[in-house]
Amino acid sequence: MPSTPRRTLLRAAPAAALLALAACSNDAPGATSPSASSSAAGRQETTAPPAPSGPDRNTAMDVRVTLDGRPVDATLNTSPAARDLATLLPLTVDLKDFHGTERIGEPPRKLTTDGAPEPAAPGVGDIAYYAPWGNLALFYQDGPSASTDLLILGHIDADADQLARAERITIETAS
């Protein structure tokens, strides 16, 4: 079955499946990596901010990011989920390690998954959103294969060691 009809069918999953996934947490025994799942049923559909028009439509959003109080260069892409994250700025999130690959933390609410781009495997420095759990992920190792549940939001220009040790991230709009 082609991926577009499959994705449409998965997004039309019954509300019961969404509720069942929402009841799961990352503390569940035997939980797998938030970037390893490929089910789209756990996505929360929210309203994204309006898409930029004109020359800003395809321009990455510059943001100010600090990791443990140290500034690093970063950009967010123009996906609806990244634009939704930008509506939460300024944002500070505490981070914890997940499976020796990424640092994860909880934003104050779930982000939109409407209009998600084609899945891509995360790389070192990518900041992503794992829709089923509603968490942000900063990858300090290359992630597993692409997943429809993992939306790459942008990139942080920091070395893998700094990302691996990060305990807190602050993201602010660029001046």
Can you give the pLDDT at residue 156? Answer: 97
Closest CA to 81 of 33, 49, 38: 49
Separation CA 175–CA 165 (nearest Å): 27
Residue 40 makes CB contacts below 8 A (sequence gap 6+) with 7, 10, 11, 13, 131, 148, 149
Task: Give the global pTM.
Answer: 0.69
Can you give the pLDDT at residue 81? Answer: 97
pLDDT tens readout for residues 124-172 = 999 999 999 999 999 999 998 899 999 999 999 999 999 999 999 999 9
DSSP 126-149: EEEEETTTTEEEEESS--SS--TT
What is the residue-averaged pLDDT of the chain?
77
Grade residue 51 by pLDDT with cuts at 50, 70 and 90: very low
Chain Cα centroid distance, residue 116 = 11
Residue 5 pLDDT > 70: no
Grade residue 58 by pLDDT with cuts at 50, 70 and 90: low
Can you give the pLDDT at residue 60? Answer: 87
Can you give the pLDDT at residue 45? Answer: 38
Separation CA 134–CA 104 (nearest Å): 10
| Helix (DSSP H) and strand (DSSP E) numbers for the chain | 4, 9
pLDDT tens readout for residues 19-36 = 233 333 344 333 444 444
